[in-house]
């Protein structure tokens, strides 16, 4: 009673009780909304991680074939650049990758089969027996 933890059941205290209920109920509703938003964010992150994993597996198992004109021997007329590989991955494999995720120090200037390392987030588990994700690119004559 002195700290207003309990009040007598009288009409003049009914207003005080209603106001206190409104205050406490609002806080409880806000806490519930925050928890639901956090759950939704966690679900979205899990969904994105699964999408990344499936895309990474498809990239690792895929063979990207490029056909180019050659000039002399096995030399290409124009070297294959990182942007060309990114666009071919999008066209042939239906996977959009950022050019920064593909490690290619210099353009490829000869025919053959190459394994290009992929720089993917560390959250994505690597395949068994491999140290990193790779993309296999085969350059053939036209």
Is residue 114 included in any domain, yes or no?
yes
Q: What is the chain's percent helix, strand, coil content, to nearest 5?
A: 45, 25, 30
Is residue 15 included in any domain, yes or no?
no
Question: Is the pLDDT assigned to residue 2 strictly greater than 70?
Answer: no
Q: What is the pTM of this model?
A: 0.60
Question: Is the pLDDT assigned to residue 26 strictly greater than 60?
Answer: yes
Is residue 35 included in any domain, yes or no?
no
91: domain CATH number?
A: 3.10.430.100
Is residue 41 included in any domain, yes or no?
no
Q: Lowest-pLDDT range, 27-31, 100-104, 125-129, 136-140?
A: 27-31
Is residue 2 included in any domain, yes or no?
no
Show the domain range for 95: 49-141
Structural domain count of the chain: 1
* Rounded Cα gap, residues 112 and 78, in angstroms: 15
Is residue 6 included in any domain, yes or no?
no
The rounded mean pLDDT for the chain is 80
Is residue 64 included in any domain, yes or no?
yes
């Amino acid at each position: 009673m002195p700290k207003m933890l309990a009040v007598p059941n009288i009409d003049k205290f009914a207003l005080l009780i209603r106001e206190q209920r409104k205050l406490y109920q609002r806080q409880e509703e806000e806490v519930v909304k925050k928890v639901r938003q956090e759950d939704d964010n966690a679900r979205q992150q899990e969904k994105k991680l699964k999408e990344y994993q499936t895309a990474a597996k498809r990239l690792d198992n895929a063979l990207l074939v490029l056909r180019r004109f050659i000039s002399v021997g096995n030399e290409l007329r124009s070297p294959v650049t990182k942007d060309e590989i990114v666009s071919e991955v999008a066209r042939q494999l239906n996977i959009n990758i950022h050019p920064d995720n593909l490690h290619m120090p210099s353009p490829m200037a000869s025919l053959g089969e190459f394994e290009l390392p992929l720089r993917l987030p560390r959250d994505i588990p690597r395949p068994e027996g491999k140290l990193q994700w790779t993309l296999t690119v085969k350059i053939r004559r036209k």
